[in-house]
Structure 1
Amino acid sequence: MHRSPPRSLVLGLMAALVLSGTGGSATAEPTISYLDDRRPVHDRVERLLARMSLDEKIGQMTQPERQNVTSEDITRYRLGSLLSGGGSVPTPNTPESWADMYDGFQRAALAAPLRIPLIYGVDAVHGHNNVVGATIFPHNIGLGATRDPELVRRIGAATAEEVSGTGVDWNFAPCLCVARNDRWGRTYESFGEIPELPSQMSTVVTGLQGRRLGGPASVLATAKHYVGDGGTTGGKDQGDTQLSEAELRKIHLPPFQAAIRRGAGSVMITYSSWNGVKVHGHDHLINGVLKRELGFSGFVISDYNGIDQIDGQPGFTPAEVRTAINAGIDMVMVPSEWRRFIETLKAEVEAGRVPMARIDDANRRILTKKVELGLFERPLTDRRYLRTVGSAQHRALAREAVAESQVLLKNQRNVLPLDRGNGKIFVAGKNADDIGNQSGGWTITWQGSSGPITPGTTILEGIEQTAGKSGTVTYSRDGSGIDGSYEAAVAVVGETPYAEFFGDRPGAMGLDAEDLATIERLRASGVPVIVVLVSGRPLDISAELPKWNALLASWLPGTEGRGVADVLFGIRKPTGKLPVTWMNSVSQQPINRGDGQDPLFPFGYGLTYRR
C-alpha cells in the first residue's frame, strides 16, 4: 500500500531522530528496536509501549476529523488517527490531492518524538465514494442480490487499490447489519435480511485486507455496526433493538463472527441501543461477547460522536468517557471536541477511574494493527495505485456487479429482453439520466445528491450504447412525446439519494407523484411499459404493479449504468435474487422471511429469461 525506503535507512534515521517518550536512554538499540521489522509484531509493540507516556497513549486513542486539526496539532498531541467524514475532502477533490493531503498529515505524525504513524479512516462503503472519479460499485443490498461472495471479494480488492492510491489505509466498511425493517434509512447498506447473507458477503473483508495485512494494497477493514443496528423498533436509525439476547445472537451476531474469522482488523460500535442501553457503553457486548467470547483481537472504534449519546444528552461527559473506554472502546471518533476528550480521559486515568491496564490494552490493539499494516516501514502513499482510481478494469468489474445484482420481478409476455436490432425504445423517468440518483447516498457527499456528481455511465447512456446505431432511443424525463410507434417504454424511477437518519421512512413508502405521472403518460400510449426501479429498499408498489408489463429491481447500481442495460437487452440474463422480502403493503413492515406474512415477492425470488 505504501512505498518505503530501505530498512537500513529507516533505522539510521530513527536512531538519529527518535527520542524517548518516557525519559529513558537515547542509546541506539532501545530507541530503534520497535522499528525493526525483523522482530515479532508483539515484541515491537511491547517495546514501543514501554517508551510511551500517558499523553502519547491517549493520543493514539483519539480520532479527530481532518478539518478540525492542523499539522502542528498532530505533532503536539501525538494524534494516532484522523478521518474524513462523508464529503470531507481536499480541494480540488482529486486522487492526487488526497494523496498529498494524506502525506502531509503523515509527515506531521512522524515529526513527533516516537514517530508513530497515523492511521487514516474513510467510509469507502461502495468504492472510494468520497473521491470524484472513483469507481462507484452497487450498494450492499444489490451485492446481496448477486449471491456471489467471490464477486464481493473482488470488489473489496478493487476498492482497496483505489483507497491505497490516495494514501488512506483504513476503511469503515463493511456494514454487516441485518436489515429487518425496510423503513430504516440504512437498509441499502445491508447485504440482506437474514444473517447468512452478510456472513457470506464478509468476503469483502478479505478483499480489502488481502491475504494478510501489510500486503499490496492492504487496507484495514471495519465490521460495523456492532451489534443489532438493523433491528431497531420501527426501523428507526439510532433507535432501540428490543430483542432477547438469544434473538440478538441468532440474527445479528453471526456476520460479525464471520468477519472476525476473516481477520477484520477493527469493529465499529452501533449508535443504537439494545433494550434501552446504548451499545457504546455496553461492557457485556463489547468486552464480554466481542473481545472475550469471540476472541476479537483487533481494536474497537466508536462511531462519529458516538460516546456522546450514552446518557441521552448532547456532548460527552467524564462519566460517558470512562464508561465507553472501560466497556472496551479502544479508539474514540471525536471529530471536533478532541482536545477536551484528551483532557477528560487523562483526568479519568489519573483519578483511577480508568485503569492504566485498559489504556495499555487499547494501545496494544491499535499499535498491533499499525505494525501489521506496515505503516512504520511504509508510511507514505504508494502512488503507483493512483492509476487504479476509476480505471477501466474496475469499471468493468462494477458493470459486471450491476448486471449480477438486477432482480427481474415481472416479465409479462416476455417483453424483456429488448431487441438490440432495429428496436424503437422510449426512455423516461427522473432516474434514467442521473448518476447521483443511481449511486444513492454516501457518494461524493454524506447524503449523496442528484445530478452529474462524478463521471460514469447513466442508465439512459447504457441503453443508448447497447441499442446500437441501428436502434432508436428517445428520452423524455417526464414521458411526454411518446406515441404508439415504440416497441417498449422504459421508466427508470424510484428514490433519490439519502443516507443514515435522513433516509428513515416512518410513513408512506411508495413512488412519488412525479414517478406515477411519468409512468401513466407511458401507459396512455398503449406501449408495453417496463419499470426499472432504482431504490435502496423495496417500495410499496403492489397497487401499481398490475399496470406494468415488467419490473426490474436495480437497487442503487453506482456509476456503471450499462450493467442495467446488459440485462434489459439480454446480453446477460437476470440472475439476481431478492435479498429482502418485498412487502405487499407498507402496513406489513417489518416483513421478513418466515414470519407468516404474505409478501408481494418472497425472499429469494427472481426470474430469468426463457430465451
Structure 2
Amino acid sequence: MKEALVNHQPPRRASHVAARLAVRIAALALLLALTPLLVTAPATTHAAGCTSTADCLSQMTLDEKIGQMTQVANTYLTTPADIKTYFIGSLLSGGGGGPNGAGGTASQWADMVDNFQSYALQTRLGIPMLYGVDAVHGHNNVSGAVIFPHNIGMGATRNTALEQQAAQVTRDEVLGTGIDWTFAPCVCVPRDDRWGRTYEGFGEDPALVSSMGVAAIKGFQGAGLGPNTIMATAKHYIGDGGTAWGTGSSGYQIDQGNAQISEAVLRAIHLPPYQSAVANSVASIMVSYSSWNGVKDHGNQYLITTVLKGELGFQGIVVSDWAGVNQINSNYTIAVRTAINAGIDMVMVPDNYKTFISTLKSEVNAGNVPIARIDDAVTRILNAKFALGLFANPYTDRSYTAQVGSAAHRAVARQAVRESLVLLKNNGVLPLAKTGTYKIVVGGSHADNLGYQMGGWSISWQGGSGATTTGGTTFWQALQAAKPASVTLQNVGTRTKGNYSGDVGIVVIGETPYAEGKGDSSTLAVSSANAAQVTDICSRTTKCVVILMSGRPLIINSQLSTAGAFVAAWLPGTEGAGITDVLFGDYGFAGKLPVSWPSAVSQQPINSGDGKTPLFPFGAGITPF
C-alpha cells in the first residue's frame, strides 16, 4: 500500500472537475485576449465523459458495466492501475484495511482513498468509484476516530435522536477520510444471544430495531444523498438474527446459519426493519451470509427481487457480503449467475476480481444473465454516484478531516455511553458520594483496557487489547479524573488476591473482543478469571459495584448475588467518562435492556413473549438509581 500513497496524488481539497475547469477557463481567457472573435464557453462543466445515469449507460461497454458491479478490497488489488484497466466501480476497506494495515490516521486514509479515486477518473468515461467501509460504531477502523457504543448499547438508550446524532458524527468522520459509503446500520434482530453478532443489533424487538435503524440512516444520509452525506447500508438481508444453533457455516456454530422459520415469522420479526429502511430511502442493502430454510440468501431471487425490489420498492444498491456469492454453489460460474439473477447489483468479490469479471462477462455473452439485469444493476450504482455528487467532487473534503476525533464528537459518544448503561441491581451503593473521605478499590480485566472497552470491529476486525487507538479514555482513566478530592483510589488490576481493603470496590469485567462467528458462544459464561476478580475485590471491600462490558447478556447469577450494584455497560467504546458521569450521580441511569437476560444458557433462544422467565425481562433497568 505504500506505493499507492506516493503516486498520482490528486489536489488535496479540490475536485478533478475544478482542476480541469480551471485549465479550460485559463485557455478561454487566452483565446479572448488573442482572438476576440473566438468567444466560446466550455462545452460542459462536467469532467467525466457522461453527464447522467442514462448518458453514461448509453455509452458504456459490457466491460465497463461489469466493472461498475465489481467491489474489490483494497488489500487485494494487484496494482491500483487495475482500477482503470478493469473499470472497477467500488473499493472497500475490510477490517484492518487501512493505509498500512490496521489503523492509520484520518489524513493517511484520505490520501489512500484519493489516490485510488485518481485511477477511476482516468477511465474512458471518468466515472468515479464508491469507497465502502464498516463504520459500524463510529469510524472504527481509523486511529483517533471516536468509537461509539456498539448497537446493543445504543438500543439500550432508546434514544433515536441520539442515535441520529451519533450517525451524523460518524458520517462527518467518514467524509474526512474520503469515504462515501458505510456498511451500517445493522438492522438484524438477534434472537439468540449465543450469536457472535448479537452486539451488532439494536435489540431483540423489531420495532426497536426499526426505529433505531431509521435514526442511523437519517444521520448518515441526511435529508437525501449529497456531497455532505454518505450512503447507509441496512444489513444483513434477511434473517441473520434468526438462525438456529448448530446450523452455522464457515466453521461457526450459529453465524452464517440457517433460519428455520416460516415466512410469517420472517415477515413479522425480520422484515420490518427493512420496510422502515426502504421507506426512509436507505441507499443500499447488504445480503446476509445466512440461509432461509436451506437456501442461501445470496441466491434467493424471491427475497431479493420479488420482496425487496418488488414488494418493498427498493430502488438502491443491493450489495453482497464479503465473498458471500462464493457460498451459493461450489461451481463459481453457477454461483455468479445465480447471485446476479437473484438481484445482487454489486458483488463484494473481494479478492479474485479478474475471475469474477471474466465469469460474469461470459455468462452475459452466453445469454445466462440478461443484459437488462446488468443495466438495472449499473443504473442503481450510477444513480448513487450522481446523487452523492461524486462526479463533481470525487476527492476528500479536507475540512472534515480535521474534525476526526474532535472534542465535540467525543462529547456525543460520552452521552451515548452514559445513556446506554443499564442498572440491574442497586442495594443503596450508587450513586457514589461526592463528599466525605473514603477509598475505592478498582480492578478487573476491563478496568483499564481500551481495546476490551471497544470490543470487536475496533481498529481491526476482531478488536484487540490495550491502547489500540489514540484519544480514548479507559474507565480507570476516567475515574481518576472524576473522583472527588477526598476520595483515594487503588487499582489492583487483575492481581486481586493481595492484602488490601476499601470502602467501595469497583470490578470491571467482561468479554474479550470478537467479531462475527468467532464470538459464537455455547456457554455465555463469565470467565473463571473474572469470577475470581469479583469474589476477591467484593470480599475485601464494604460495598461493591460490578460493571460488565459485554456484547450481550452473560450468565451472571453468581456475580449478581455478590455485588451490591450491577451495571450492564455493553461495549462502550472510547469514552469511558460516560460511566463515571453516572456512578457519581451527575446523571441518572437511563438505559433499558434491549434484550431478554437469561438466567441460564439453556434458555436460549429467549425473547419477550415466548413464555420463558428471564433473569431480567426486555425493558428492565433501574432508573435513575
TM-score, with normalisation over the residues of structure 1?
A: 0.93
Distance 2:173 2:563 in 1: 40
Report what 1:262 is aligned to. Answer: 280
**Which residue of 236, 239, 264 maps to 2:257?**
239
Please tell me the residue identity of whatever aligns with 1:229: D
The 3-state SS of whatever aligns with 1:300 is strand
Write out aligned runs for 1:221-236 (5 A).
221-234=232-245, 236=254
Distance 2:348 2:327 in 1: 13
Report what 2:219 is aligned to. Answer: 207
Distance 1:402 1:298 in 2: 33
Structure 1 position 81 matched with structure 2 position 95: no
Residues 155 and 203, structure 2, Cα contact 8 Å, conserved in 1: yes
Report what 1:154 is aligned to. Answer: 165
**Which residue of 394, 404, 410 maps to 1:379?**
394
The 3-state SS of whatever aligns with 1:528 is strand
Change in CA separation of 1:578 and 1:383 when aligned onto 2, cut-off 3 Å: same
**Structure 2: segments with no counterpart, 5+ residues:** 1-11, 28-39, 246-252
Write out aligned runs for 1:510-549 (5 A).
510-549=525-564
1:526 deviates by: 4.7
Which deviates the most, 200-209 or 470-479? 470-479
Distance 2:286 2:132 in 1: 12
**Structure 1: segments with no counterpart, 5+ residues:** 17-27
Structure 1 position 464 matched with structure 2 position 480: yes
Report what 2:590 is aligned to. Answer: 575
Structure 1 position 420 matched with structure 2 position 431: no
Please tell me the residue identity of whatever aligns with 2:431: P
Distance 1:31 1:61 in 2: 30
Distance 2:292 2:44 in 1: 46
Cα-to-partner distance string for 1:381-415 (whole Å, 9 max, x where unaligned): 10010111110001011000000000000001x10
The 3-state SS of whatever aligns with 2:479 is helix
1:11 deviates by: 10
Please tell me the residue identity of whatever aligns with 2:216: V
**Which residue of 50, 65, 71 maps to 1:63?**
71
1:290 deviates by: 0.4
Please tell me the residue identity of whatever aligns with 1:430: S
Write out aligned runs for 1:352-391 (5 A).
352-391=367-406
Report what 1:145 is aligned to. Answer: 156
The 3-state SS of whatever aligns with 1:575 is coil
Cα-to-partner distance string for 1:514-552 (whole Å, 9 max, x where unaligned): 111111111322522210000000001123322211100
Write out aligned runs for 1:395-410 (5 A).
395-410=410-425
**Which residue of 142, 147, 159 maps to 1:131?**
142
Distance 1:394 1:191 in 2: 21
Cα-to-partner distance string for 1:472-530 (whole Å, 9 max, x where unaligned): 1110112244644x221000001010000100002x21211111111111132252221
Residues 33 and 47, structure 1, Cα contact 8 Å, conserved in 2: no
Please tell me the residue identity of whatever aligns with 1:306: G
Residues 34 and 48, structure 1, Cα contact 8 Å, conserved in 2: no
The 3-state SS of whatever aligns with 2:309 is helix
Distance 1:31 1:440 in 2: 53
Q: Percent identity?
A: 52
Report what 1:289 is aligned to. Answer: 307
Distance 1:82 1:29 in 2: 36
Which deviates the most, 523-532 or 293-302? 523-532
**Which residue of 508, 511, 518 maps to 1:495?**
511
Report what 2:36 is aligned to. Answer: none
TM-score, with normalisation over the residues of structure 2?
A: 0.91
Distance 1:257 1:469 in 2: 53
Distance 2:177 2:219 in 1: 18
The 3-state SS of whatever aligns with 1:87 is coil
Change in CA separation of 1:432 and 1:8 when aligned onto 2, cut-off 3 Å: closer
**Which residue of 307, 317, 342 maps to 2:332?**
317
Which deviates the most, 296-305 or 259-268? 259-268
Extract structure 1 runs of 4+ deviating beyond 4 A.
5-14, 28-37
Residues 33 and 44, structure 1, Cα contact 8 Å, conserved in 2: no
Residues 63 and 335, structure 1, Cα contact 8 Å, conserved in 2: yes
1:103 deviates by: 0.7
Distance 1:67 1:6 in 2: 28
Distance 1:428 1:261 in 2: 47
User: How large is the Cα RMSD of the aligned pairs?
Assistant: 2.2
Residues 420 and 466, structure 1, Cα contact 8 Å, conserved in 2: no
Distance 1:487 1:542 in 2: 24
